[in-house]
Structure 1
Amino acid sequence: MLQFSFLKASIVVLNGLSHTYKVENGKVYKGKIALENTGKQPQSVKLFLQDYSYKADGTIYYTAPHTNEKTNADWIKMNTNLVTLKAKEKTEVYYEITVPDKISDPGSYWSVIIVEPVEDIKPNDSKQGVNITSIIRYAIQVITDLDSDKAKPDLKFEGIKIEKEDGRQILKVAIANKGNLYCKPTAVIEIYNKKNGQKIGNFSSQAMGLLPQTSKSFHIDIDKTPPDQYNAVLIATDEDENAFALNVELEVKND
């Protein structure tokens, strides 16, 4: 008989999961990852680089460096790949980004630093079996924007649907970034009465980061909209006020 015991992961990242830099050819930039062991036992942590992308259907891809042609994994060097933290201890892992001299394509280059607790699978002496510890991995995006004034996002609406979530009507808008620059757009829908053109209201999503050649599903709560057929304008606006709009027809149902 196998006995399994699941222990909580105790490592947390203190300074965010997205680090963005405006960079120039041939320059060096410094960053750090602040870690804390919130548990009562010592904990070893390994750090390594991977490429990263995602789609609006929720699929996330963590792949070997050089899978993505816009990877910056080769530019990043960490001062260590393994740290051990005592109980309640904090530490910082430092990294340097060395931008090559001859990168000609402006835009965003990126990869992720994976932070993964090292867990030993140990035989359980008192019972037959092993202890298996659940692991929470963190992926810290390191995004470098080269000549960002010569690059731009290009947002496209790829799909729109209404689904019930927790009893509420949620408009799910799939948005892709077909451009070459990382951005952080918000999706807004302006809803109008189909018969008289009267504006029903404005509803917006949370802002989310969108890497080039990726897509995400932006969720807008439209639960206060009565069941009916509407005309609507979908607008995606990034933090630099670049706006992308689409006219749609919307049917809000009772169920």
Structure 2
Amino acid sequence: MMKTTFYSTALFLLVLFKSQAGVIVLNGLTHTFSGNSGEYIQGELVLMNTTDQEQQIVFKLNDAIYSCGNDRIFSDSITHEQSSKSWFEGNLMDKFIGPKEKFVYKYQIKIPEDKSINGTFWSVLMIEIAKPVKKEHLTRQIDLSTKIRYAVGLITHVNQASNVELDFTDVHINKNELNENSLKINLLNKSKYVEGVQLNLEVYDEEGENILKSKTKRLMVFPGMCIDYNLDISTLKKGTYQCILTADSRKEYIGTNISLNIN
């Protein structure tokens, strides 16, 4: 049975030159689905023209390419082995949306029949407002046209059955420009599935008293990729502390004990 969950977190949002968008996506910028081999998954984007003028929307399909330590890349020519771009069925069209009009864009994701497929696969539906929403005169020769572009992530978990496989690859104290301490953690996702991971930290003093609890936002970590988290420990005084650090995904917990020496 196919299960669909919508996340409203704007992790795939790309805004070119900060402006107020005339068209907004009402049902989130990351759409996550679960399904099995051979299934059709139905999806939709709900768009709203908030202006008093007709707006032209352009739809394109891209791949999102991730790598540890590098920025994410959107591309219509470069792909990767976990791409679901070829699974997408929808009309990549230009669409005019009238003033104050709501438009529902429907699409399908067709998971291949291959029973051996498992893991998370993804692609990105680009939505560009073709008409510039702002024009700034920079010089007599140059005008800057400001446009809005959204990247809506389409993430599909296929035949999901494996356990969470996360690894803390690096943990160290980091100081900012104000000389405040934070704990920087690099986390690696060793599984085939995208994981929504939240870190939790418990700090104990030399008497065994719990003096600090801290947690991060839940971030998406893609298969084989790593991500950096930062936890605020600026309230800790000089001394040695024992800590329990856990990573939570899909209600599974992976933990480690660490010792902190604050100088």
**Alignment TM-score, normalising by the size of structure 1:** 0.82
Q: What amino acid maps onto 1:107 in structure 2?
A: G
User: Shift of the alpha carbon at 1:143?
Assistant: 1.2
The residue number in structure 2 matching 1:85 is: 97
Task: Check whether the contact 2:132–2:147 (CA below 8 A) recurs between aligned residues.
Answer: no
User: Shift of the alpha carbon at 1:133?
Assistant: 2.5
- Give the number of the structure whose residues are more often strand, by fraction: 2
- Between the aligned partners of 2:189 and 2:102, the Cα distance in structure 1 is 37
Q: What amino acid maps onto 1:199 in structure 2?
A: N
Matched, 1:211 2:222: yes
The 1:81–1:220 alpha-carbon spacing in structure 2 relative to 1, beyond 3 Å, is: farther
Alignment of 1:86-235 (within 5 A): 86-102=98-114, 104-119=116-131, 128-129=140-141, 131-149=143-161, 151-160=162-171, 161-164=173-176, 169-193=181-205, 195-235=206-246
The 1:134–1:173 alpha-carbon spacing in structure 2 relative to 1, beyond 3 Å, is: farther
Q: Which moved more, 1:51-60 or 1:169-178?
A: 51-60
Task: Check whether the contact 1:65–1:73 (CA below 8 A) recurs between aligned residues.
Answer: no
Alignment of 1:13-24 (within 5 A): 13-24=25-36
User: Shift of the alpha carbon at 1:103?
Assistant: 5.0
Which of 231, 241, 245 aligns to 2:255? It is 245
* SS of 2:194 mapped into structure 1: coil
User: Shift of the alpha carbon at 1:75?
Assistant: 0.4
- Between the aligned partners of 1:140 and 1:237, the Cα distance in structure 2 is 25
Which of 52, 62, 77 aligns to 2:64? It is 52
Q: What amino acid maps onto 2:252 in structure 1?
A: N
**Alignment TM-score, normalising by the size of structure 2:** 0.79
The 1:105–1:192 alpha-carbon spacing in structure 2 relative to 1, beyond 3 Å, is: same
Of all paired residues, the percent bearing the same amino acid is 25
Which of 74, 80, 85 aligns to 1:62? It is 74
Q: Which runs of 5+ in 1 are unaligned?
A: none
The 1:234–1:98 alpha-carbon spacing in structure 2 relative to 1, beyond 3 Å, is: same
Per-residue deviation, residues 4-24 of structure 1 (Å, max 9, x unmatched)? x99643221110111111111
The 1:170–1:44 alpha-carbon spacing in structure 2 relative to 1, beyond 3 Å, is: farther
RMSD: 3.0
User: Shift of the alpha carbon at 1:167?
Assistant: 8.5
User: Shift of the alpha carbon at 1:69?
Assistant: 0.1
Per-residue deviation, residues 166-194 of structure 1 (Å, max 9, x unmatched)? 8964433222211111221110112122x
Per-residue deviation, residues 187-235 of structure 1 (Å, max 9, x unmatched)? 0112122x44433222111112222122222232334333433222221
Matched positions, count: 244
* SS of 2:164 mapped into structure 1: coil
